[in-house]
Structure 1
Amino acid sequence: MDKIPGMERPDLQALPQIGDRLTFLYLEHCQINREDSAILVRDERGTTRIPAAAITVLLLGPGTTVTHRAIELIGDAGVGIVWVGEHGVRFYASGRPLTHRAQLLMKQAQLVSNQRTHLAVVRKMYQLRFPEEDVSGLTTQQLRGREGVRVRKAYRTAAKEWNLPWNGREFDPDNFSSGDPVNQALSAGHACLYGVAHAVIAALGCSPGLGFIHVGHERSFVYDIADLYKADLTIPIAFEIAAKKPDDLPSAVRRRIRDEMAARHLLEQIVRDIRFLLSDDDQPDNGKTDITYLWDSHKRLISNGRNYAEKGDMPE
């Protein structure tokens, strides 16, 4: 069989780290292929080449078709993919982790499986929301109450600033157009934030399903991380764009969210926050080494790549 033309699969160490990339790119009504290490996008206006390793997540809207070779490149570059429909958003794929190490995933599983450490991570999540307060002595019920007050305040503040009526978060996930402009803008903005959070989680090698505040859903950890930024990012922007009444509200929200994510260096922030939540900083996962250990019931981790057979165990 002839060799498929194009660039060789890059070493993960040669790819830009997730915190150094652009946030997301929205595409619709186009054909997506690959040309060497570039994503090739064709539509009625012409052809565009996008360096695959420069972006974090692709939002694919209605009318997009993707070739197998494009998906191969996208996966190898660690790029996430979200299929965006007219009636909501579904996350159907993600790229490879941008690390060969599983330390963060192992730590996540360890922390979520113990009630004491699970609660400790929950408190750290709320500490990120209330950096000036001591939440170490609050129960989970009290923490949820504090968060509820914070989010309601964010809604009221944004509604007052933009002089818009607000009757609460009401939306039908199966009927995007049934919501009022603010709720539509919130859905579009949150979808972008979920996609970026999911892509970062996948790139770091963590599990999207092992959440701490949210549990039981395949994207529980995605919702945990995204909720850290909604009150300061997607909620105020949703009210701002809804008040301006653009012809294409979802598109206007996406552009505004994208620009604000870039201005705030949100990708770097998400990486730092996930590491803060899951790591004890004893062995930082810098993604620059390819290390595999063997598990041991006493020492936990022992070196890989050596023969542990005792001399007396060898057959004559």
Structure 2
Amino acid sequence: MATVSQRTALTPRHLTRVGDRLSFIYLERCTVHRDANAITAEDTEGTTHIPSATIGTLLLGPGTRITHQAMSVLGETGAAVAWVGEQGVRYYAGGRALTRSSALAEAQAIQWANTRSRLSVARAMYRLRFPDEDPAGLTRKGLLGCEGRRVKDCYRAEAARTGIKWRGRKYTPGDFSAGDPVNQGITAAAQCMYGIAHAVVSSLGCSPALGFVHSGHELSFVLDIADLYKTEVGIPLAFDVAAEGEEDIASRTRRALRDRINELSLLDRCVDDIKGLLLQGDTDEAMSNDRDVVTLQSDGGRVVAAGRNYGESDAGMGEGGALLW
């Protein structure tokens, strides 16, 4: 089994920033291989080369096969991978973080572990979604109630804007076709946003499970982040696509969402929003040291160099070492 020291020696400088990547690429009915640091999609019409470091999330649709080597290069370059179907989108697996710093993961754990700071972050998330409303002083129940009201208002407003008859949000898990076209579009947009949010969360080294609004699920924080852009991007786009026609609603929604995300530079914004929520203004200092360095925790909040046996009598707690076990 490979160890950390045997991994490909990629550093954050070798990897494309999350904000500079394509939001997602959707493939179906093809075989995905690896060619050097690119992946190839081979179907009956030929072979297409795709630089793996430019991908945020690779969506593998019906009829796709992917080789071990292709998954290897995607993992090395930090791309997330999601297997999807014609009946909706479902996130399956993620790639390797683009950062070597644990600053964001530690900040997330600290904010999450304290009930007061956890509520504070939840309020900050609400403020990002609805900047015209101040959630200061709202309880958890109050936040949920206000969020539900604003989302319902968004549905009604978009229905009036596009002329679509709105009968309410209806989604049956496992049965994508059960909803009307606009509900199918909302579901497709939401699930794509979950995959994109998961890619950004994982790329930044955060825990997908430690949510501030959602809880109890392995993707709680992913759901938190995806919801930041629900009423601004996902819901309006789904209504727009449904108003244009009812055919191929899922694929048309995915394409329109991909274009909209690139227009808004949403990946950059998502990165900035996560840093702002977790680091509370210390983003530059906390993320400036992104070297591939492992340290050990000592007393008094100090850290000491790893790779050294501190059981030796002459081991200086402030000195580094090159010994590995």
User: TM-score by structure 1 length?
Assistant: 0.91
Aligned-pair CA distance for 1:246? 4.8
Q: 1:290 to 1:313 in 2, by over 3 A?
A: closer
Cα deviation digits, residues 188-225 of structure 1 (max 9, x gap): 11111111000000000111111110000111001100
- For 1:289, the equivalent position in structure 2 comes to 291
- For 1:104, the equivalent position in structure 2 comes to 104
Contact 1:13–1:287 (Cα < 8 Å) also in 2:
no
Contact 1:101–1:292 (Cα < 8 Å) also in 2:
no
User: SS in structure 2 opposite 1:92?
Assistant: coil
After the TM superposition, which of the residue ranges 101-110 and 218-227 deviates more from structure 2?
101-110
The amino acid across from 2:170 in the alignment is: E
Aligned-pair CA distance for 1:103? 1.5
After the TM superposition, which of the residue ranges 301-310 and 107-116 deviates more from structure 2?
301-310
Contact 1:13–1:288 (Cα < 8 Å) also in 2:
no
- For 2:182, the equivalent position in structure 1 comes to 182
How many residues are matched?
307
Aligned-pair CA distance for 1:303? 4.1
Aligned-pair CA distance for 1:9? 5.8
After the TM superposition, which of the residue ranges 83-92 and 267-276 deviates more from structure 2?
83-92
Cα deviation digits, residues 266-293 of structure 1 (max 9, x gap): 0001100100111141742247422322
Aligned-pair CA distance for 1:72? 0.4
Aligned-pair CA distance for 1:313? 8.7
Structure 2 unaligned spans of 5+: 1-7, 317-325
User: SS in structure 1 opposite 2:34?
Assistant: strand
CA distance in 1, matches of 2:184, 2:257: 14
User: SS in structure 2 opposite 1:155?
Assistant: helix
CA distance in 2, matches of 1:144, 1:290: 40
Q: 1:179 to 1:287 in 2, by over 3 A?
A: farther
Contact 2:86–2:250 (Cα < 8 Å) also in 1:
no
Aligned-pair CA distance for 1:249? 1.3
The amino acid across from 2:173 in the alignment is: P
Contact 2:88–2:250 (Cα < 8 Å) also in 1:
no
Aligned-pair CA distance for 1:302? 3.8
Q: 1:161 to 1:133 in 2, by over 3 A?
A: closer
Contact 1:99–1:287 (Cα < 8 Å) also in 2:
no
CA distance in 2, matches of 1:312, 1:258: 58
User: TM-score by structure 2 length?
Assistant: 0.89
Cα deviation digits, residues 120-144 of structure 1 (max 9, x gap): 1111111212324432222222222
Cα deviation digits, residues 161-209 of structure 1 (max 9, x gap): 1111112111112111111101111111111111100000000011111
Quote the sequence identity (%). Answer: 47
